[in-house]
A and B are shown apart, each in its own frame.
Chain A
Amino acid sequence: MKKEYLTFTPDIKNLKENQEVKLTVKDLTPGPRKYDARIVKAILSSDSKRLPEGDVLHVRSWTGMRYPQTWAIKILKELEETEAGTPHGETINAQK
């Protein structure tokens, strides 16, 4: 049974296929821990046939709209629970 994950992206064109990428995914396994976030290193494909060992990745836009097509994801490694960075970093950069 394939696991299902969810990720958010400002633009689906930003999702790189067939190479190692770092991204945040939400675990959609039913139960009280559903939507748990992980930061992972993974390989993605927009076509599950090209990544048959991959799990299912649902993709939503930065405003939460769902892209109709699911992707495939093969998680290579779970990274640290959180990332280095400054709170409100995007806003601080945008104001420079």
Chain B
Amino acid sequence: MDAEGRRPMNSDLMKADLEIRALRKSYGGPSVLRDLSFTVLRGELCCLLGPSGCGKTTVLKIVDGLLRPDHGSVWLGGREITDLPPRKRNLGMVFQSYALFPHLDVHENVAYGLRRRRVPGQELHRRVGEALEMVRLSGYGPRRIHELSGGQQQRVALARALIIEPRLLLLDEPLSNLDARLRIDLRGEILRIQRALNLTTIYVTHDQEEAISIADRIVVINQGAVEQIGTPRDVYERPASRFVADFIGRINFLRGRIVDGRLLLFGERFRVPGDFPVAEGEVLCAVRPERISIGEPQASGIRGTVAGLSYHGSVVRYRVRIASARGNPEVSVEVSGARAVFAKGDAVTLGMGIRDIMIIDEKTNTARHLGDDEPPGRAADEG
């Protein structure tokens, strides 16, 4: 930072509302964050996605000022806030456990932030009323916290964070304590409010399906470092690493070979683009189950036998054993439930196209689509 604590402006950075730079943190033991950086654009809903213990919540607490990083900085609207105490940041945080004040009723919970800001009585009541209305809890003011259901508590936590008109909304696994149906309802609710207020939001979750359905952009974090930043579609269809491919959705990892510049997979040959950086020899491929087609044995393609199947309502998953390949590998194939006609033991043929196959570089642990014209951005947003 320079003397005024401002970054030099340029058109590219003006869009960035929140910037996280090279955060490092350890709680005395191994590092929790290892040079973690990303930016969030104004009005955007950005999901931090990763397995438990990957450092997501630590990032959120550093942004909120509840923790200080060992190294690195946090910038909000071009101003560094790394050393600002939480009360001077004006950010709205929704905690995983909701962290509602059990000794206060709903009204006082929501009003807490306004009372700290010495908002006079009438305005305070009006704003609490509005906030409760926004989360569809009008009339719940006098209730005690323990009288509310989990979903209602979650709404109170949201109202309490929103009422202070926060500069950012920080959500720490806000739906993880709710049952499946309620999760989907409240997800829509959060999205509606976030859009209505055009609020820059960080949403921490370990649920990849939730992240994909709600985020404008996803930051995939693993072991304290960024694995990939991209739109939900990018992250799902063009994972930048083996970890991302594995963590998000289901995927088959298959052994193939590069022979004479072509990929040989279960006897099928695929063209490899000239500039594709793989050496001759054994190679690890990844294919999503729903990108593989399954057909009658007389069709052309990879021959296999149905080793088992599981019914999931809308889809059916087959485990198909490839008898011709070494080690008799099994491939998982997912088809629409309506089109599932095969039974266990049936001979089938599998088909896949060049655009369905990713090659994983096991040395650098990066992934690349065989059919891609350009490499997907591992850190496309950093430029």
Q: Decide if A and B are genuine partners.
A: no
